[in-house]
Amino acid sequence: MNISLNWLRDYIDCQLSVPELEALLRRAGLEVAGVKKRGVSIEKVVVAQVLESVQHPNADRLSVCKVDDGSGQPRQIVCGAKNYKIGDKVPLALPGAVMPGDFKIKTGKLRGVESEGMMCSAKELQLAEDAEGLLILDASSVPGTELKNLFPVETVLELEITPNRSDWLSHVGVAREIGVFTGKVAQVPRPALPKSIDAAGHASIEDAGCSYYTLRKISGVNVAPSPQWLVDRLISIGLRPINNIVDITNYVLFELGQPLHAFDAGKITGGIRARGAIDSERFQALDGQEYHLPAGTLVIADDNGPVALAGVMGGEGSGVTESTNDILLESAIFDPSRVRRASRALGVFSDSSYRFERGVDPDGVATASARAVELILQLAGGTAASELLVAGSVPARHAVTLRHDRARALLGTELSDADIDAALQRTGLEKGLDGQWVIPGYRRELTREADLIEEVARVVGIEDIQSRAEGIFAQGSSADAAYDFTMALRRKLAGAGFHEARTGTLISANAADLIGPSVSLKNPFGDDQSRLRNSLIPGLLAAVVRNFDQGAKSIPLFEAGRIFNSEGEFQRLALVATGERQSPDWRGTDVRPWDAFDLSGLVVRIAGATIQPLTNPPTPFGAAAVAALNGKRIGIVGQLLPSVARSLGIDGALLAAEFDLDAWLAVDAREKTVSPLPKFPASSRDIAFIAQLALPYGEVQAAIASLNEPLLESVKLFDLFTDPKGEKIPAEKKSLAVSLTFRSPERTLTTEEVNAATDRIKAVLREKTGVDLRE
């Protein structure tokens, strides 16, 4: 919604600066999306009158014109527009003018004919976003007048209007709101209202989608271009002038917020009816398109069929043209839901539908009609009927009860009854009996006591209501603990280079069967959404494929969410990784793909879990290990079957892990303890040994742990070597090397103590795993 500051000041004495006005409107609840400057500030652009126009000798689409620019000497201009005639006044950019986009005007030849300037359209002058042909100026404009004097620069505010405040969709509505917060009274146009009579025989309502319909006839009008002031007003808010009748209806629309429509009375056959459309009934709209209307679409029709799509757009066959002599001016109330439904179904949107969808002021229907008639008689002449033809009735105003004590209790303030009443009266509400407030038609969204209390807070100012109570701490819950636990894991995984994904809870049967049993939907959306997900892994695999298709080289993803099975819903965390773990760089570093050690190492680092290999991994894992914390299983980590990777178009290893967050949290919920930094240095020893190829490293860890060596702080595997050819070690063997770290919290260890502990570890390895130690 564009609001012209100059136009706004016609209704309220507002001398606030633009930043001050922005702040006031934001306090009122209006979001100022932008501030634009409109008008002409270009030097050397003047009014010129077309004296003659002939065909260009070398171009079919160009004309050669002689114009009077006020200098006393005719100027020759080559022009491509066709919408002007001899005698019209148009903008002329003289040589030396610098147009928007840093386009400099100079004398030159166009197709061999000299042109001494450029006649301009409204778009070229940035007076409108769209324009057809030249900008035709008011006939009273004097040649040679600088255009910046006719189109002074003005400020236009672009407002974001909330759906509940349809009264803000007009200059008067915004002026009224400014008055609420400045204490000044908005000067609302109040034309004399004609006598209302029953429209029987002329107009009727046959559908409840229209509750109130009015017509007024104006005879003998002269349809012509609008005067300059009206053109300027419409252009300032981005509208294209058409003719004085249509421009007046648009002017009143943006002035008062009530949509109007003018029919050519000579093109209306019989009486007008507001009715529902017959299925596939045809309607030729003003936008030049023919529409096949769904059954029940609210239309305005005469004896020959629809002449307007109610509340949305008029019909081409009944529109006002230059040959129109008599008009019928429509002003009505249409049901917002019916207008919205028709607009969406047909894809037709207009300034009228935008307002009717949000609801118009019932009390403003007759006022807007009278205001438009007043302007039509001034600008187009003619004679208006003395009566307003009316069908239906104006909805009655409703009242809302307000308790002053309740307002004070909710707001936490000691406002007096008089202060509360004054605040409501400033918003336009009228005080009735027994604590009731009569709601004006333009504030129909006020329906409850709480709405009135909110209005009091708005007017008084939320910032002026002092805080009277401090917030209290709420007792922590299991839900809070689960949320905090999951968020901590998300942050850790993001810090480790993983990207969080969000996948759907519905998956295909094939994806679900990859994991195991799943829950089927009775009424699926389709084959690809027929099961509730029984794991997060299928959704992440689909995300991997989409990322690969977009050219991603490394894809580490994770997701936290719910899975479903026959026993209920469960919270899970899943990870997938594939592609390049390490990319080549300028130092010549080789590409290294993701492998199982990367993922298992991440799990150990983030979860503090131990990894125990599985002899028979579950589908779809080809190799897997159990992740355990304090002896309790919390998840599985491993590499998916190569066949699964190939089915997804992935050549390398495809790694995945999935964790039961409920089980993880239950184990992790133990009381946390911390230890001081060690006071004494550590001592390390490395041992290497030859073992059977089939010996799991987990058995090596278990053998060392069984010793319960008090000085041993940690064990780390740092080398693994196999030789399939059997040249350096037998093919059925492997070489391992581990680093042992020893430390005492009480003293610095001696060499003899460290060596003795190392010997005890070597002995237990020989005894329990049968390895051959290498010296």
Query: Which string of DSSP letters, residue by residue, matches 329-341?
Result: EEEEEE-HHHHHH
Residue type at 57 in one-letter notation: P
- Mean pLDDT, residues 679-690: 94
Same domain for 141 and 288, yes or no, is no
Other beta carbons within 10 angstroms of residue 506's beta carbon come to 18
Number of domains in the chain: 6
Tokens 């007792």 belong to: 475
Half-sphere exposure of 763 (CA within 13 A, CB side): 8
On the question of pLDDT at 203 being above 90, the answer is yes
User: Is 271 within the bounds of a domain?
Assistant: yes
Same domain for 524 and 663, yes or no, is yes
Q: Which residues contact 340 (CB under 8 A, 6 or more apart)?
A: 353, 357
Query: What gap in Å lies between CA 689 and CA 69, rounded to an integer?
Result: 102
- Mean pLDDT, residues 702-721: 93
Q: What CATH number did the domain enclosing 378 receive? A: 3.50.40.10
Q: What CATH number did the domain enclosing 14 receive? A: 3.30.56.10
Q: Output the pLDDT for position 153.
A: 83
Cα R_g (the chain), whole angstroms: 40
User: Is 436 within the bounds of a domain?
Assistant: yes
Better-scored residue on pLDDT, 740 or 589: 740
- Mean pLDDT, residues 761-775: 91
On the question of pLDDT at 678 being above 70, the answer is yes
| 3-state SS, residue 310 | coil
Q: Output the pLDDT for position 461.
A: 85
Q: Residues 236-259: pLDDT tens digits?
A: 888 889 999 999 999 999 999 999
Same domain for 603 and 724, yes or no, is no
Q: What CATH number did the domain enclosing 700 receive? A: 3.30.70.380
Same domain for 146 and 162, yes or no, is no
DSSP string, 205-274: E-STTEEEEEEEEEES----PPPHHHHHHHHHTTPPP--HHHHHHHHHHHHHS--EEEEEGGG--S-EEE
Q: Report residue 682 as tokens.
A: 């550590």
Same domain for 502 and 612, yes or no, is yes
For residue 315, the cross-strand partners are 285
Same domain for 505 and 413, yes or no, is no
| H or E stretch at 699 | helix 697-706
User: Is 218 within the bounds of a domain?
Assistant: yes
pLDDT band at 609 (very low <50, low <70, confident <90, very high): confident
Query: What gap in Å lies between CA 524 and CA 530, rounded to an integer?
Result: 5
Which of 265-269, 412-416, 756-760 shows the lowest mean pLDDT across its residues? Answer: 412-416
Query: What gap in Å lies between CA 397 and CA 399, rounded to an integer?
Result: 7
Q: Residues 14-55: pLDDT tens digits?
A: 888 889 999 899 888 888 888 888 788 899 999 999 999 999
Alpha-carbon torsion (625, 628, 631, 634), positive or negative: negative
Q: Domain limits at 230? A: 195-392
Same domain for 534 and 496, yes or no, is yes
Polymer length in residues for the chain:
775
Same domain for 552 and 640, yes or no, is yes
Q: Output the pLDDT for position 470.
A: 65
Q: Residues 322-379: pLDDT tens digits?
A: 999 999 999 999 999 999 999 999 999 999 999 999 999 999 999 999 999 999 999 9
Q: Report residue 178 as tokens.
A: 């400014």
User: Is 470 within the bounds of a domain?
Assistant: no
Q: Which residues contact 475 (CB under 8 A, 6 or more apart)?
A: none
HEC string of 405-455 equals HHHHHHHCCCCCHHHHHHHHHHCCCEECCCCEEECCHHHCCCCCHHHHHHH
- For residues 199 and 300, the answer to whether their CB atoms sit within 8 Å is no
370 — phi, psi (to 5°)?
A: -65, -40
Same domain for 239 and 123, yes or no, is no
Same domain for 372 and 403, yes or no, is no
Beta strand pairing call for 554-565 and 499-500: parallel
User: Is 434 within the bounds of a domain?
Assistant: yes
User: Is 677 within the bounds of a domain?
Assistant: no
User: Is 54 within the bounds of a domain?
Assistant: yes
Q: Where are the beta strands (DSSP E) in 30-146?
A: 31-38, 45-55, 63-68, 75-79, 89-93, 98-99, 103-104, 108-110, 113-115, 118-119
pLDDT band at 412 (very low <50, low <70, confident <90, very high): confident
Beta strand pairing call for 63-68 and 103-104: unpaired
pLDDT averaged over the chain?
91
Q: What CATH number did the domain enclosing 70 receive? A: 2.40.50.140
Q: Residues 454-487: pLDDT tens digits?
A: 999 999 888 777 776 666 677 888 888 899 999 9
Is the pTM here over 0.85, yes or no?
Answer: no
| Cα diameter, the chain | 120
Same domain for 146 and 158, yes or no, is no
- For residues 558 and 551, the answer to whether their CB atoms sit within 8 Å is no
Measured between alpha carbons, how far is residue 388 from residues 196, 314, 656 in Å?
A: 5, 21, 76
Same domain for 76 and 209, yes or no, is no
Q: Output the pLDDT for position 324.
A: 93
- For residues 105 and 96, the answer to whether their CB atoms sit within 8 Å is yes
User: Is 253 within the bounds of a domain?
Assistant: yes
Q: Output the pLDDT for position 670.
A: 59
pLDDT band at 660 (very low <50, low <70, confident <90, very high): very high
**Domain closes at, from 617, 636, 667:** 667
Beta strand pairing call for 387-392 and 195-198: parallel
Q: Residues 205-219: pLDDT tens digits?
A: 999 999 999 999 999
Q: Report residue 640 as tokens.
A: 């998916």
pLDDT band at 101 (very low <50, low <70, confident <90, very high): confident
238: alpha, beta or left, given left = phi > 0 and alpha = psi -120 to 50? left
Q: Output the pLDDT for position 130.
A: 72
Q: What CATH number did the domain enclosing 525 receive? A: 3.30.930.10
Query: What gap in Å lies between CA 268 and CA 54, rounded to an integer?
Result: 41
Percentage of residues in the chain having pLDDT higher than 70 = 98
